[in-house]
Structure 1
């Protein structure tokens, strides 16, 4: 593997254009000062939020401040993500974070003050056409009434905001900046650098020794930090428990779902429906073992190619074109927006020294979305691009259709658009494929999507549920306790044909999503909803496309469950998950037939 470039050596065409947010640092500083000035005027409204006029003025100012704070933060943080070791942007990110906390503090009186009004006054506001832009917000405030504290308590909680980010910040620094993996020998016996970005590539190596070496090197490195990382994860769980108790929720899970108004059954249904479907995953593990021709299937064999000598080298340019072809069923309007994203500086493409790992889509209302990648020339990176552009175009459509506060879609919905793109792309590739080896490769890839996005994320979701329950009952989350829980889940999920290596017990230590608690289940529900959407789009054509584009333009203008339901997917029942499992079963059956 080549030495990574420094950020300063990365070609401009491979970088996103953050000047679309702020032309330069002095513009950022000016915007920062403007927000501070506006924050000083907020107190003029305090104690006056009892008329339609004052509430409208307050919400309008709140939106203006929030939008600019978001933009300042996004700019600083995305520069920081380009090179996490750059002290300038570390400092700028901290400055933006502090402004965000100051803004929350300054505006913390708004909700409790409006909620102190009698219900009939609140109902009158909800019904008043002058406040129609804020109707959903007012309805939400009324629903949240039971969990909002007094003015003094809310101001105090807003100040705790800085402290509450500590576990995630500390983990990020350990994981991205300080964690150094040893060198390992590649297929040719050459010493190569192991990084977050290259780890999965080595796990995909056809050479079993390389896979085993990479796997062991990564988990032995994490094991050396197990006490520190267990302390950061435990601190994060305790922070969640603090908030849930202060805000009078029965549990952290209840609190996490309440914001999106998601019934608890959605979470428990997911785990239960996946438990009933584990025999399918076990069947897939058995097939994987047979295809690899191994006596024992190990955890480091999960990403190994199942088709001999079938390698899909896909350059970034080819990936863009193939994605566009695969998304044709979504129509011209969608394709034109996609092309704009390709051409106009939305995307930061390749890994460089110090760059944040993984991929995401982010941005701020009022400018286009952005996508961070660490692109490799393989199938997985092509799907990552399709996935992140799904997020980006969801934001693009909702931002263009709606005002600031209604445009912010929930994370529960976020994974649906990204995964619908992946499902349509896969359908296109499978239909186009005539080579049995290629077909087998794609089937394996898609089956692995189900394994990693539905089964694995549900296992993560179950792990989060268990560790929070343990902590809520007063038990300590020691490194051993975390590893034991995690190891047992791996045994249960992967079944009798998998040799579950002890090292995997450390995997909880490298999952950044655990610092964004009760988030990962949304990947599994999102994947299921997306499987349903793509099926409808391919079978029905235009009417389903119209419903789907309507979904993209709905942002967060209603409850997530309702937005999906209007577009034709009912997530309050186990049905979409069972539908997804039906597709998974078909894939396994096709693979079994190809291997006879």
Structure 2
């Protein structure tokens, strides 16, 4: 546990298979080389979109083709970069992909202004044409944003602004995944171990309070030592969002984010209100946790240790796969068969390795199977995280299988339904199993 695992020591079957996107890196280069011709084809429709439904359909199809190619280029490059954020070749390829996307966005910035310049009645008539039926919702969504679409010249500037706007997030990722060193701490046996974000989660479940406190302080210290940098990055991110919203005429950055996903502000506010009104439940839970741990005061490093007296169970990754598939049986045989085939086809990058992006996510690109990033430690929380990310992956898998590219994506507001439902189903299944009937085991699950 004292040494960090490096990627070259990981078995191939425990890494994700990105050859489903590009069979080899030369194929990525070939698609990158051909992108400019596709952009020029899309730009050739400029000034003609209002002339006929066929022209508008052709312009949209060409622009969407560019978007799909860019999505493939960026997704592959980003996934390779996340394998090892210190790999300069992977980072360089990612930067190239982002710049290609920004340049294409600038070239295609005319599209929405030209569409919203079409009078409403004329646009409605065009949308009724059979040639545009496949794009009707796309056009309705653009028309909905009519008050906030700027001139082609301003949209081009905003497209260029994207390169500057990504700086805070990119800088934080570099700091968090590559530069921060959390130092050495002690595990339950008193051994020196190098602290990583993955190991931190394990140590925070230790029965030894001094182990939890030491790892918490070491982790926190690394971030506190960069407090001014982190504050500056966050402030820059807030100003970036506020500026972009102001340029487009939104009342706030929040208003822009909600409008973009077509979510009423009242829905968002009602969620905040519901959570605020339930704070007494959280306070009661924290009081119960303090009493269960027999503490005079509950500290931040006391929030993750299991309350059940039984030792926490550890899960091998493939054991967890079977637990997840069993837990999701309520979704039907097709779902679990497709997911099982996904696991067997290397959808998951399993282990925490040196330089790998922290946390977990599911990502994919249209036309290829989704993939999941994990940093496996064998805890029950990892099992639930796997079920959670599998929910996202299957949402993407079925959306891509049944929808055209321009309808297959989904907003973050909708995305978490599939993932949290999987967590609930897994909880119910574990509680219903024979070992879940034991009161201590049930307490540990809950």
TM-score interval, normalised by the smaller of the two chains: over 0.9
Deviation at 1:40, TM superposition (A): 2.2
| Cα deviation, residue 422, structure 1 | 0.7
Instruction: Work out whether 1:439 is the aligned partner of 2:442.
Output: yes
The aligned counterpart of 1:456 is none
Distance 1:407 1:188 in 2: 50
Alpha-carbon distance in structure 2 between the residues aligned to 1:428 and 1:125: 52
Alignment of 1:399-418 (within 5 A): 399-418=400-419
Cα deviation, residue 337, structure 1 = 1.1
Indicate if the aligned counterparts of 2:116 and 2:146 stay in contact, CA closer than 8 A.
yes
The alignment status of 1:19 with 2:19, answered yes or no, reads: yes
Q: Using the TM superposition, give the Cα deviation of residue 41 of structure 1 relative to its aligned residue in structure 2, in angstroms.
A: 2.3
How far residue 341 of structure 1 moved from its aligned partner, in angstroms, is: 0.9
Separation of aligned partners in 2, 1:386 and 1:210: 29
Structure 1 partner of 2:250: 249
For residue 126 of structure 1, report the CA deviation from its aligned partner: 2.5
C-alpha separation in 1, matches of 2:123 and 2:255: 25
Contact 2:202–2:379, Cα closer than 8 Å, also in 1: no
CA contact (8 A) 2:198 2:377 kept: no
- Aligned partners of 1:42 and 1:107 also within 8 Å: yes
1:577 matched to which residue of 2?
none
SS of corresponding position for 2:193 = strand
1:94-493 residue pairs with structure 2 within 5 A? 94-432=95-433, 433-443=436-446
Q: Please, what is the CA RMSD of the aligned residues?
A: 1.0
User: Aligned partners of 1:273, 1:342: CA distance in 2, in Å?
Assistant: 37
Please identify runs of 4+ aligned residues in structure 1 that moved more than 3 A.
none
CA–CA separation in structure 2 for the residues paired with 1:2 and 1:179 = 17
Q: Distance in 2 between matches of 1:24 and 1:237?
A: 39
Is the alpha carbon distance of 1:19 and 1:347 closer, same or farther for their aligned partners in structure 2, counting shifts above 3 Å?
same
Note the C-alpha offset of 1:279. Answer: 0.9
Cα distance in 2, alignment partners of residues 410 and 53 from structure 1: 29
SS in 2 for 1:310: coil
Partner of 1:467: none
Q: What SS class does the counterpart of residue 349 from structure 1 fall into? A: strand
Take 1:2 and 1:437, find their aligned partners in 2: how far apart are those partners?
32
| Partner residue in 2 for 1:37 | 37
Distance 2:341 2:67 in 1: 27
Cα-to-partner distance string for 1:111-161 (whole Å, 9 max, x where unaligned)? 100100111011112322221111111111111000000010001111111
Shift in Å at residue 170 of structure 1? Answer: 0.5
Aligned equivalents of 1:408, 1:11: Cα separation in 2: 32
Q: Contact 2:77–2:90 (CA<8 Å) still a contact in 1?
A: yes
For residues 34 and 345 of structure 1, the distance between their equivalents in structure 2, rounded to whole angstroms, comes to: 29
Q: Which residue of 1 aligns with 2:80?
A: 79
Q: Which residue of 1 aligns with 2:62?
A: 61
Contact 1:310 1:441 in 2 (8 A): no
CA distance in 1, matches of 2:286, 2:197: 26
Q: 2:199–2:377: 8 Å Cα contact kept in structure 1?
A: no
CA separation in 2, counterparts of 1:235 and 1:17?
36
TM-score, length-scaled by structure 2: 0.98
User: Alignment partner of 1:282: what SS?
Assistant: helix
Distance 1:276 1:71 in 2: 43
CA distance in 1, matches of 2:443, 2:209: 20
5+ residue gaps, structure 2, are none
Deviation by residue 1:87-127 (Cα, 9 ceiling, x = unmatched): 11000000000011111111111110010011101111232
Using the TM superposition, give the Cα deviation of residue 2 of structure 1 relative to its aligned residue in structure 2, in angstroms. Answer: 4.4
Find the residue that maps to 1:285 and give its secondary structure.
helix
Q: Secondary structure at the match of 1:184?
A: strand
